């Protein structure tokens, strides 16, 4: 009996809001909008100045976000899509659903140069293998990892963003030799999970010595749990980057408001929320403004990344190599 009441209450509230203020609809991934994610703080800060009602719509992860947008096509309700990453940009651009943002992006603090008329970064991170600080002989490359008897858990690139990031990382460093590297890694891989949560859960459970995650993961344990026993392994060849972006939808009813939001996204009011809610690096905030604890994280050199077009072109081949190597 409660459900219809709650639902009609929500509809009523939404209706009342839209009567006098414009509603800016942002599609994003689920964890961005949760109570403990960046969503609530970002919403409050933007609504203070915009004279609008900002509404988030959560849609699974980055890949489901893009799928949802493709399903809806031109008739989408979204004004902004926030939470795609560089591996999804090429496919997203191809839909023709996005407009140029026209926002000055000169204050970006990414470790690589960024130039894109439609997609604007809001945070980023390095992929890395997380391990306990008491682990012996921590590998410094994929080949060392393959030679060691360390047990690792990774994510499936077909259903998980970090999994796809790892695929690209190995491809970037080893090129045509990637398949051989995967074959050598096969006996280190305890299992492949559908998503990040399962893999990280298995690692915390002691099923593996290392898990694929981000260099910022130890910051969570340190800051939120006061646990300094987790750290990330530094690989000499550099670490692959994940850059998360937002873009405004072509034909949005609130184009000016959407552009205002994208500009707001690169200000400290938005950026300073990111580190301890999304546990990633903010895309436009100097390192000196990061919270205490982030200075303890490893600093990979260099940050590696394919352009969206390269990533799209390499993806299927890299996946086939991965599958062939690990299916034996």
Partner 1 sequence: MARSAQPVGISAWAGAAVAALVLTVIAVPLGAVMLRADASSGLGPADWAAVRFTVGQAFLSALFSVGLAIPVARALARRNFRGRSALIALMGAPFILPVIVAVLGLLTVFGRQGALSEILRLFGLPGVEIYGLHGVVLAHVFFNLPLAVRLILQGWLAIPVERFRLAATLGFSSRDIGRHMERPMLRNVLPGAFLVIFLICTTSFAVALTLGGGPRATTVELAIYQAFLFDFDLGRAALLGVVQVAICVIAGVFVLWVATPNAIGTGLDQPVERWDGQSRAARLLDGAFITAAALFLLLPLTAVVLRGAGAIATMPPSIWVAALRSIALSLVTASVAVGMALPMAMLIARGRARGFLETIGALSIAVSPLVIGTGLFLILRPIAGPTDMALPVTGLVNALAALPFVLRALVPAVEQAEAGYGRVALSLGLSGPNYLRHVLLPRLRRPLGFGAGLAAALSMGDLGVITLFAAPQQGTLPLEMYRLMGSYRTDDAQGAALLLLVLSLAIFWIFDRGGRVNAAV
Token match 């409050």: residue?
44
> Roughly what angle, to the nearest 10 degrees, separates helices 308-326 and 178-185?
40
Q: Which of 22, 95, 34 is nearest to 257 (CA)?
A: 22
Q: How far is the CB of 254 from partner 1 (least distance, A)?
A: 17
198 binds partner 1 (CB under 8 A): yes
Question: Whole-number minimum distance, CB 105 to partner 1, in Å?
Answer: 28
DSSP code at position 26: E
From CA 302, how far away is CA 232, in angstroms rounded?
16
Please select the residue that binds partner 1; options are 17, 22, 23, 34, rule is CB under 8 A.
34
| H or E segment to which residue 235 belongs | none
- Taking the least distance from each CB to partner 1, the nearer of 208 and 266 is 208
d(Cα 14, Cα 88) in Å, to the nearest integer? 31
Asked whether position 156 contacts partner 1 by CB under 8 A, the answer is yes
Q: In the range 49-108, which residues lie near partner 1 by CB under 8 A?
A: 56-60, 63-64, 66-68, 70-72, 75, 77, 91
Contacts (Cβ under 8 Å, ≥6 apart) of 51: 21, 22
Binding status of residue 323 toward partner 1 by CB under 8 A: yes
Least distance to partner 1, CB of residue 179, Å: 13
Region from 105-113, 129-137, 188-196, 264-272 binding partner 1, contact rule CB under 8 A = 188-196
Of the candidates 130, 154, 144, 127, the residue with the CA atom closest to the CA atom of residue 232: 130
Q: Which of 143, 148, 191, 272 binds partner 1 (CB under 8 A)?
A: 191
**C-alpha closest to that of 212 among 231, 230, 199, 227:** 199
Location of structure tokens 């990414």? 110
Q: Residues 286 to 315: which contact partner 1 by CB under 8 A?
A: none
State the residues that interact with partner 1 by CB under 8 A: 1-3, 6-7, 10-11, 30-31, 33-37, 39, 56-60, 63-64, 66-68, 70-72, 75, 77, 91, 151, 156-159, 186, 189-198, 200-202, 204-207, 217, 220-221, 224, 279, 322-323, 326-327
């Amino acid at each position: 009996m409660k459900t219809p009441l709650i639902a009609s209450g929500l509809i009523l509230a939404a209706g009342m809001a839209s009567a006098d203020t414009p509603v800016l609809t942002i599609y994003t991934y689920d964890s961005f909008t949760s109570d403990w994610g960046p969503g609530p703080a970002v919403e409050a800060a933007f609504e203070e100045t915009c004279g609008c009602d900002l509404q988030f719509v959560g849609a699974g992860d980055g890949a489901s976000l893009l799928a949802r947008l493709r399903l809806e096509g031109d008739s989408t309700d979204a004004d902004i899509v926030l939470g795609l990453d560089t591996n999804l940009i090429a496919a997203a651009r191809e839909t023709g659903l996005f407009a140029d943002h026209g926002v000055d992006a000169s204050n970006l603090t990414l470790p690589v140069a960024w130039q894109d008329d439609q997609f604007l970064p809001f945070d980023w991170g390095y992929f890395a293998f997380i391990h306990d600080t008491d682990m012996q002989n921590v590998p410094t490359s994929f080949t060392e990892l393959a030679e060691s008897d360390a047990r690792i858990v990774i994510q499936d690139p077909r259903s998980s963003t970090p999994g796809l990031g790892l695929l690209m990382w190995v491809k970037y460093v080893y090129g045509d030799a990637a398949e051989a590297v995967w074959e050598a890694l096969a006996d280190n891989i305890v299992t492949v999970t559908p998503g990040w949560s399962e893999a990280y859960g298995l690692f915390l459970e002691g099923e593996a010595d290392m898990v694929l995650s981000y260099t910022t993961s130890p910051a969570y344990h340190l800051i939120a749990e006061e646990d300094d026993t987790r750290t990330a392994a530094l690989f000499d060849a550099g670490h692959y980057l994940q850059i998360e972006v937002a873009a405004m939808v072509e034909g949005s009813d609130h184009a000016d408001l959407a552009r205002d939001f994208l500009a707001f996204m690169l200000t400290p009011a938005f950026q300073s929320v990111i580190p301890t809610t999304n546990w990633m690096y903010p895309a436009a905030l100097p390192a000196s403004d990061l919270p205490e604890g982030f200075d303890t994280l490893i600093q990979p050199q260099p940050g590696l990344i394919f352009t969206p077009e390269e990533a799209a072109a390499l993806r299927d081949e890299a996946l086939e190599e991965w599958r062939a190597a690990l299916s034996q």
